[in-house]
A and B are shown apart, each in its own frame.
Chain A
Amino acid sequence: MPQPTDTVARADGERRVHVPRKLRNLELVLVLFASLLNGAALYLVQLGALGAFDSSFFLPATGLAVLVLGMHVALRVSAPDADPFILPIATLLNGLGIAGIYRIDLSYDLSGWESVAVRQIAWSGLAIAVAIAVVVLLRNHRVLQRYRYIAMFAGLALLLLPMLPIIGREINGARVWIGIGGFSFQPGEIAKIALAVFFAGYLVTARDSLSMVGAKFLGLRFPRVRDFGPILVIWAAAMAVLVFQRDLGTSLLYFGLFLVMIYVATARISWVLLGLLLFVGGAFAAAQLGYVGGRLNAWLTPFDNEIYNAQGGSYQLVSGLFGLANGGLIGTGLGQGMPSLTPLANSDFIIASLGEELGLAGVFAILSLYLLLVSRGLRIGFAGQDDFGRLLGVGLSFVIALQVFVVIGGVTRVIPLTGLTTPFMAAGGSSLLANWIIAAILLRLSDTVRNQPRLVVQQ
């Protein structure tokens, strides 16, 4: 792999000032546009649901916009070559999410700290502040590679933390929370970042032995048992999440992340087949436990009256479908639908809420934003220079894509419904924090990518 030399970098100094400024200016325009859209969405929610303008809610929302501009400035200074689309997309998704949550608050007459939207804004502020810190402090992402085993232990520990007594909490049937005092957190959200770092670091070093060695069977080269260790550890962790925390979505997310990263690193489809086999086998065994089986029935025949009326049956899913249908092509208009009829309308079902009021048009716009965000992340994989960075970029982008697929696919009956948060949009601090950190890491990676190929070309 060619490495840039100091001399070339200095010789290139003139251009480096020129091109990034264009990128950052584009980002500034887009961020301002996104903030404007967010403000308009809040205003429409108020007009639709209250029939009046309430300025008190706009103060914290404006604070958030200022913080986003702060992040933009931080990027100008410390990552001038970073991708110009990631920050505006994250801002817009975050803002639309707040508007959707605020809309649900209004139907329940919540205000002040009772208001989920106000708390979401506070969490967003914290998450963006942390993202700024990541961009500023993480000058070179390769540092992360050194800490891969620490990341592994941290990831597994975070993942399994909710299973501990006393601090572990069960909410809505899934034991994925920890609570300290009145404060609850989903450590699994942060764990996915730690695990992505670990996978990337581990696979970069172990890829050769994983891909070259092993017996051939049916035209596929299967790995040696000793190389098989880590995949078994991750599988066991995923199964533990599935069985003990009763969270099919999270377990699917981690395992999917691992399989994609190992496939990209080793180019061995056999890993993916083995992994899928293990996961489906485990999930099938877990289905005997009951709750997965119920989800399966609710997915296949949600309109069956018995399943509809059953405790933990398809009521919520069907209610979400009714909401989406109510929205139709162009939606009822913000604040004018009835999204709060669906349980968890501001978290797991926020896409059904927004789909009801913004219609299919709005849903397509949101899906396109996610697709664009993911594609910006995947670009890092294509254009990057160091394999650790490429793998990390692919892993983090794929985790967003998979999470969007699992949660929106669950709501729209592509797959069985599992409890996962919609990235950037769903109410919940842990998820926001994790996704903003992911955005920060992707920004950092894209900055590295963009200033390296040009150096290479000039060599």
Chain B
Amino acid sequence: MNRELKRVSVVVLLMFVALFVSTTTIQVFQADNLRVDDRNRRTLFASYSTERGHILLDGQPIAQSVPVDDRYRFQRTYAEGELYSAVTGYFTLDQGSTGIEDALNAELSGTANSQFLDGINRLFTGQDPKGASVELTIDPAAQRAAFDALGDRSGAVVAIEPSTGKILAMVSKPAFDPNALAVHDTDQVLATYDALIEDPGDPLVNRAITGNLNPPGSVFKLVVSAAALESGEYTAESTFPNPATFPLPGTDSVITNSGEGACGAAESVTLAEALRLSCNIPFAELGLALGDDALRDMAEDFGFGESIAVPMPSARSVFPADPDDPATARSAFGQDDVRATPLQIAMVSAGIANDGTVMRPTLVERILAPDLREIDALEPSVFSEPISADTADTLTRLMVDNVGSGVASNARIGGVSVAGKTGTAENGSGEPYSLWFTGFAPAEDPSVAVAVVVEDGGGLGQSGRGNTLAAPIAKQVIEAVLNR
């Protein structure tokens, strides 16, 4: 009987060895993978119960974690939730997070590599873990001006400091209140989230950098003009035939200018005049002459086709891959399959404003450890150099004329020379227009470049124009920056 007993004992021992091995495997070797699993709510709860860092503007928190008496220990609150919703995004218990809250989660929750030693230090000194704070580049006055000027219209505003790439304003309308998603009652969060998702205005979509991209319309003529000037074959005074209608090659359809006539009274029209009056036909002719490759190269030099991390990733702006001639002609005035984010259009203006150099756009000024020590600070860097300083000068002159005596008259500011370009983009027959304005000021020493898009025709269907609706918004944002 003892032989059998020994064997049974060995079996028992093996059963326990299996348990020792399995628990070790899970708690040591697989632990890291299990911790980062998307479905692991413990990791999320843990990130909630560490004191998450602030999101700061000029030292004032727009998002902070305040101590509360529940299992999560801290409640995330947003001082002016709707105003900054496109920037901060939201931070929920179990519906994910967006915006800066998501893009800089590692820093805010204190798990970034740069905070590793800090975390070890806190572990041994028995202090509670804390996240780093993030100081943003947003100018509160510009943000407020953009938010108020857009009003109830669906659309977005992006303002950039051309010399550094700092994003001074980022607004998307309709906005949402991130406080409503930060509550600790998960059922309530889910109900709020579902309601926001089902809202036809899509408030959770950040139209400034993502969303259903709009055709840029005439603001894209800046890119086409840049391509023309950079080619060396054209100057601002180069002339184009000036018919009242232009048959699209190989089709029965024709292109017209927005005024339904020729571009001015003369037989031919200069590039400068075509841009000032924003005529389509000369640009169609120019686009066909340059070819789609030249247009695409210039667009991509400005950032088209690239997802830009600001630090949350933007959608890629689009220039069609392989357009035929009619499509190239229509692309040359920002229609057909051309699509752009307001961020991208602001980068075009900023590049022209900054002597042809596009600075990498960003929202992050610096990152501060819990003891306010600076962990990381913005070092402005060059994104691209799509055009020469001469080309930039020429384009600036044309854009100043555009505002001063052209179709972008509503962006005029007394005593300041504003450079600008409007766009009124078609979204298909019967659909409301997308209304654009982009520009910068002061023209001689630009401190802000801005892009505005008003979607759904600003509520006016096909009767609104970029100059009537988008330009005044840009004007108020520019004024807010210049009055600092």
Contacts and interface: CB of A to CB of B under 8 A. Distances in A.
Contacts of A104: none
A394 B11 CA distance: 13
Interface in A303-343: 303, 308, 318, 321-329, 337-338, 341
Given A325-B31, A341-B41, A390-B1, A367 B20 contact: yes
A401 B12 contact: yes
A329 B27 contact: yes
Nearest to B24: A360
A260 interface: yes
A355 interface: yes
Contact of B9 (A341, A355, A378, A387): A378
Interface stretch (A135-143, A281-289, A404-412): A404-412
Contacts, number: 126
Contact of B39 (A308, A329, A387): A308
A394 B5 contact: yes
A328 B28 contact: yes
A364 B42 contact: no
A89 to B, nearest CB: 14
A374 B27 contact: no
A99 B381 CA distance: 57
B191 interface: no
6 contacts: A322-B35, A325-B27, A326-B40, A326-B46, A360-B23, A381-B5
Given A325-B31, A341-B41, A260 B26 contact: no
A119 interface: no
Interface string B16-30: 101110111111101
Max chain B CB contacts within 10 Å: which of A326, A355, A359, A390? Answer: A326
A325 B39 CA distance: 13
Contacts of A413: 22, 26
Interface string B211-255: 000000000000000000000000000000000000000000000
Max chain A CB contacts within 10 Å: which of B3, B8, B35, B43? Answer: B8
Given A308-B39, A324-B27, A260 B19 contact: no
Nearest to B27: A360
Contacts of B20: 364, 367
Given A338-B45, A409-B22, A322 B34 contact: yes
Max chain A CB contacts within 10 Å: which of B8, B39, B41, B42? Answer: B42
A359 B27 CA distance: 8
Nearest to B33: A325
A409 B23 contact: no
A405 B18 contact: yes
B37 to A, nearest CB: 7
Interface in A362-411: 363-364, 367, 370-371, 374-375, 378, 381-382, 387, 390, 394, 397-398, 401-402, 404-405, 408-409
Contacts of A370: 16
A412 B29 CA distance: 13
Interface string B243-283: 00000000000000000000000000000000000000000
A308 B37 CA distance: 13
Contacts of A387: 1
A308 B1 CA distance: 47
A267 interface: yes
Contacts of A405: 15-16, 18-19
A128 to B, nearest CB: 26
Contacts of B40: 322, 325-326
B35 A382 contact: no
A338 B43 CA distance: 10
Contacts of B16: 367, 370-371, 401, 404-405
B371 interface: no
Contacts of A404: 15-16, 19
B8 A264 contact: yes
A378 B11 CA distance: 12
Interface string B316-358: 0000000000000000000000000000000000000000000
A263 interface: yes
A7 B26 CA distance: 59
B71 interface: yes
Contact of A394 (B8, B19, B31, B41): B8
Contacts of B71: 107, 338
Nearest to A327: B27
A414 interface: yes
Contact of A412 (B11, B23, B28): B23
Contacts of A375: 9, 12
Contacts of A303: 37
A364 B22 CA distance: 11
Nearest to B15: A405
Nearest first, the 6 A-B pairs at minimum CB distance are A325-B34, A412-B22, A325-B31, A360-B27, A405-B15, A264-B4
A378 B71 CA distance: 45
B12 A318 contact: no
A341 B23 contact: no
Contacts of B9: 375, 378
Contact of A263 (B4, B27, B32, B45): B4
Nearest to A413: B22
A324 B23 CA distance: 8
A200 to B, nearest CB: 12
